[in-house]
Amino acid sequence: MAEKRKDGDLMPTVEFSLEDLQQLLGKKITAEELEDAILYAKGEVESVDGDVVKVDIKDTNRPDLWSIEGIARELRGSYGVEEGLPKFSVAKSGVKMKVDAKVERVRPKTVGAIVKGLRLSGYAIKQLIQLQEKIHQTYGRNRELAAVGVYDYDTLRPPIHYTTVKPEGIKFVPLDFEEEMTPREILERHPKGREYGHLINKFKEYPLMIDSENNVLSLPPIINSSLTGKITPETKNVFIEITGHELERISVVLNVLATALAERGGRIYTVEVLYPRKKLVTPELGAKKFTLDFEYSKKILGLELSKKEVVKLLRRARYEAKISGGKIFTKYPAYRNDIMHQRDVIEDIAIAYGLNKMLPEPPRLPTIGAADAREEFSDTVRELIVGLGFQEILTFSLTSKDALFRKMNLEEKEICEIANPISANWSVLRNWLLPSLLEFSASNLHVEYPHRIFEVGDAVEIDETQETKTKTVRKVACAVADTKVSYEEISSVLDALMRNLGMDYELRKTDHPSFIPGRVSEIFINGKPLGVVGEVHPQVLNNWGVENPVAAFEITLVFSV
């Protein structure tokens, strides 16, 4: 149901009934009209087959748009049917969910809500199931960061207990099965257990959601029980729980689910979540706030809009907005957590205005293109090193801490890391190039020696003075691998390069764990330490599986960003 794009993100494809959309929208709309209208919900119509429409949603940070309820809510604003901040009625239920301290070691966070008075058509149930799966796959990272449980509330006996159980400690009938099974049996035999069991099978006890009469709700994040987890058109009231590791993430998921069901006529009720040392009342649907600089928004948009026009567009995008001086104070719904910068709000203004109405304009001032000085300098370095008998390689900027530190005999230090890496092998941005050259050499042991390779490329270093707390620097690394290499050989290559560049440099004795003691120097250019040259340490070569000695240097080029 979800398509993988080139950037690695999962872009959800939402399937729904056009008739269902019209009912939720409160307006007749044809499939042809939807082609343009869906742009306001960051979507693109993929196909129309009779009443069934497939829409490709282009935003992986807006789970509220991954169901027809959220799409209809957004389109009501763009059509002017219902503008401004969506309003949701929230009442107290008095229901408590008690969180056992034991879950802290397994799956520590949970939140809950109750939605009553629902009218669940076949369309609504399909959308609920689809929304859960979309959240599980993308925002929940295949249930690791967020898993959804939805239950027929009338089958439960509160309070609800979130605890743990031994693999053989209880039996219940899982959804889509007819026989009782232990948690261990579920992980071994149930399709969902085999697919997601790796999330919990490493623990001595598994997460369990259970009511006051020991009726099992679910084995999070694997499967609901057949007794409580079956939603049908007769279901009027539902209990929702989300489990995960980050309270902010699962709270957003809860808000998305609860408000989607509210679009089906339900009324939302809060649940008291009792942790060992604190109490939460969820869902928290109070509006979030953000301040927008009016002149900055005009500059980014490139449109001559008045403050009132901007406010009107924000209301169409389901914000509330108020003007005060040069600022526009906005409120946006609690089911969104994608607003991190003014440009996020400005994007919504542009969408509400109509991206197709924003015509490109030629530059008002004539400009003459020219090659970037840094790139010209880098090309000169490349030409010189090729002239010295070396072959250029191009490697990935993404690598691992293991490659940058352990294999190079270095102590780990702060570097730029990927927040949610798919693989540990591609989890950080490199801060120097030499590990990439050694990895390349290790992958080409079958190629005739000597290996004379180099790379001119970017590395990322921590810099607290920058807005992003990092800076990108252009570096060059050069290595010789052969049956016999020496410090003198690689330093002569360095000398030839520096002389041809017309740069004064100095070598000073130093110690570096990646190089052999006494066979390594630090490179100073104009009095600044900008690199290192020497014979690579045998332990480093063993770590990489490189069979022959290697001598190398690496320097930071004078142009940096």
Same-domain pairing of 66 and 39: yes
Estimate to the nearest angstrom the gap between the alpha carbon of 226 and the chain centroid: 33
Same-domain pairing of 254 and 109: yes
Q: What does the pLDDT read at residue 559?
A: 56
Same-domain pairing of 379 and 350: no
Q: What does the pLDDT read at residue 3?
A: 40
Domain stop point among 282, 315, 334 = 282
CATH of the domain at 232: 3.50.40.10
Closest by CA to 61, choosing from 319, 266, 336, 384, is 336
Whether residue 365 is contained in a domain is answered as no
Cβ-contact 35, 162 below 8 angstroms: no
Rounded mean pLDDT, 13-31? 93
- The whole domain housing 5 covers 1-82
Q: What does the pLDDT read at residue 4?
A: 37
Same-domain pairing of 506 and 438: yes
Q: What does the pLDDT read at residue 60?
A: 86
Whether residue 360 is contained in a domain is answered as no
Same-domain pairing of 271 and 341: no
Rounded mean pLDDT, 377-383? 95
pTM score over 0.75: no
- Mention every residue, 6+ apart, whose C-beta is less than 8 A from residue 455: 392, 393, 394, 395, 433, 436, 437, 476, 477
Q: In what order do the strands lie in the sheet with 320-324?
A: 288-293, 327-332, 320-324
Same-domain pairing of 168 and 145: yes
Estimate to the nearest angstrom the gap between the alpha carbon of 519 and the chain centroid: 44
Mean pLDDT across the chain: 93
Q: Does the pLDDT value for residue 560 go beyond 60?
A: no
Residue 532's H or E segment, with its range, is strand 528-536
230-240: b (≥16 Cβ within 10 Å) or e: ebeeebebbbb
End-to-end CA distance of the chain: 41
In this prediction, residue 1 has a pLDDT band, given cuts at 50, 70 and 90, of very low
Could you write out the DSSP letters of every residue in 224-260?
EBTTT----TT---EEEEEEES-HHHHHHHHHHHHHH
Rounded mean pLDDT, 257-281? 96
Same-domain pairing of 56 and 98: no
Domain stop point among 222, 247, 282 = 282
Tell the residue number behind the tokens 């070396």, with chain if given.
390
Same-domain pairing of 185 and 295: no
Q: What does the pLDDT read at residue 9?
A: 47
Whether residue 362 is contained in a domain is answered as no
Whether residue 363 is contained in a domain is answered as no
Same-domain pairing of 418 and 453: yes
Q: Is 282 helix (H, G, I), strand (E, B) or coil?
A: strand
Whether residue 275 is contained in a domain is answered as yes
Same-domain pairing of 149 and 251: yes
Q: For 491-534, write each residue's pLDDT tens digit.
A: 999 999 999 999 999 999 999 999 999 999 999 998 899 999 99
Whether residue 217 is contained in a domain is answered as yes
Q: For 472-483, write each residue's pLDDT tens digit.
A: 999 999 999 999
Same-domain pairing of 339 and 378: no
Q: Does the pLDDT value for residue 210 go beyond 70?
A: yes
Number of domains observed in the structure of the chain: 4
CATH of the domain at 292: 3.30.56.10
CB atoms within 10 A of CB 132: 20
Q: What does the pLDDT read at residue 6?
A: 34
Same-domain pairing of 406 and 470: yes
In this prediction, residue 10 has a pLDDT band, given cuts at 50, 70 and 90, of low
Domain stop point among 230, 253, 282 = 282
